[in-house]
Chain A
Amino acid sequence: MSTFTQLGEKMRAVYGRYSNGIDMAVKFLLALFSFFWIRGTLGFNPIFSNPVLLLVLAVLCMIFSLTAIPVFSALLIVGQSFSLGLDVGVVTLAIFLVILILFVRFIPEDALEVVLTPLTMFFGFAALVPICTGLKRKISAVFSVACGVVIYYLMATLSRESKNLKTLAASDYADRLQLVVRGTFSSTMVVNLLALMAVLVIVHAIRRLGFDYCMQAAIPVGGLVYLMFVLLGDAVLGTDIPIAAALIGTIGSVIAAWILLLFLLPLDYSKTEKMEFEDDDYYYYVKAIPKAAATKEEIRRLHPDLSEDDEPGDEDLDRVDLDEVNFEERLEDSLKNL
């Protein structure tokens, strides 16, 4: 456990130094990965599959905010779908417009889940994004996850039915439209949508309860909720979600979420402090859980060859003895300055 904490500390120190560059690099890589994944899954149109175009779009995403990635991804998907026929393109555009109108207005600003949900679903780790989102983000992120699920099934349908759509004549628009719409809004999609939304809501609710190790408890509960929905869906609606793959993917999601939690939010529950105090307007109940941190000695033990000058920065490693800190006094002082 302390190894993860120490690695997390080092990563945070490095990120603190080079955050601008790292943010841009992450945006570029995520955009590139998403665009090439769309190219690999759909890839019907040579223009929208051109690697140079995708590279240019990824560079633009590096410069703009995170919102640019789902926007460009949507444009690429719509562009690819028009290669299968005007009617298919119009239906794809209509689905994206419905998502934009009904859901995008209520989702958080950066909408990272809209991009990550289809990616993780494609690789079989469907529960990973809702679990992590429930631990870290606001409840309104459930709309982002829902949009991601719909987009995933839209892409899966276009990919699966591309041969049939190319075979059917343009005049058989009834059959073509039915293939796309019914394939996207299938019972499997509905079960997955409800399952992932429920996972996010339940994980978020458990996290908000605030008991010790609530986040660690929320992760496996989220995994169980997803599996429960999948099994119920299979029993009631006869969905074609492979149970074994769902089980393996869920276990992988839970493990990955646990590791991410250790890296991103290592809390030391053994040093929890509870306090009560009041000011003119409110009575406060405060629970403070310190973040677990590697000490200077532990870092030096890991890297005995590092000199004093090579360490990330002493200010990053200075740690106050928590027993000597009067949290109540410091909190009162900070509130007086509001």
Chain B
Amino acid sequence: MNLMRVSEMVHLTRYEEGKGGAALKICKYYKGDYVALQMIKSFFLTTIAFFLILALAAAGNINWFLEHFDQMNLAVVGAILLISYIVLMATYLAVTFVTANIRYGKARRSVRAYEIRLKELGDNIRYASPDAAYGKRSGR
């Protein structure tokens, strides 16, 4: 039994079942697809959140709304709500874009290192003999 090979397999399995699991799932997508998917999710979730916030704001000021409803300019109120929605959506889409890019970059780097080690394991580069030690790799 090549103990170094077994040790490497253990490390790779731990990566797959631990922190690397999420990274591997992310890297199944192309970067553009992953970021687009996250932004679409954000769009729908932020829309739901906006209406929930609106409902909470109405609940907290319901007496005021009932007293002043007939004096309100609904067009102005509608414009304010629309602008608020656009600002909230733009903010969250921007945050989602940045975080999705950062997450994908980190996942890609992590999976790249894993793939290199997996390929070396498959090619038996470092584990040709039980006495093989980590040393300089050719071409690097």
Judge whether B52 is part of the interface by a CB distance below 8 angstroms: yes
Tell me the complex Cα distance, A3–B137, Å. Answer: 46
Q: B63 is contacted by which of A94, A174, A180 (Cβ under 8 Å)?
A: A174
A101-B49, A177-B60, A182-B60 known; A337+B134 contact, CB < 8 A:
yes
Query: Contact residues of B with A, CB < 8 Å?
Result: 42, 45-46, 48-49, 52-53, 55-57, 59-63, 66, 92, 95-96, 99, 113, 134, 136, 140
Looking at the assembled complex, report how far the CB atom of B135 sits from the nearest CB atom of chain A, in whole angstroms. 8
* B contacts with A: majority SS: helix
**Size of A's binding interface in residues, CB under 8 A:** 21
* A-B contacts, 10 listed (Cβ < 8 Å): A94-B56, A95-B56, A97-B52, A101-B49, A102-B49, A102-B92, A177-B60, A181-B56, A181-B57, A336-B140
> Does A185 touch B at the CB level, under 8 Å?
yes
A106 at the interface (CB under 8 A from B): yes
Bound Cα distance A173, B42 (Å): 32
Contact residue among A101, A173, A174, A338 (Cβ-Cβ distance under 8 Å from B45): A101
Interface string of A169-213 (1 = CB under 8 A from B): 000011101101110010000000000000000000000000000
* A binding-site residues for B, Cβ under 8 Å: 91, 94-95, 97-98, 101-102, 105-106, 173-175, 177-178, 180-182, 185, 336-338
Q: Once A and B bind, how many residue pairs between them come within 8 Å at the CB atom? A: 51
| Contact assessment for A177 and B49 in the assembled complex, using a CB-CB cutoff below 8 Å | no
B134 and A177 contact, CB distance less than 8 A: no
Determine whether the beta carbon of A101 is less than 8 Å from that of B59: no
Bound Cα distance A65, B86 (Å): 37
Closest chain A residue to B41 by CB distance? A105
Q: Nearest Cβ distance between residue B55 and chain A, in whole angstroms?
A: 6
Q: Across the interface, which residues of B come within 8 angstroms of A173, CB to CB?
A: 62
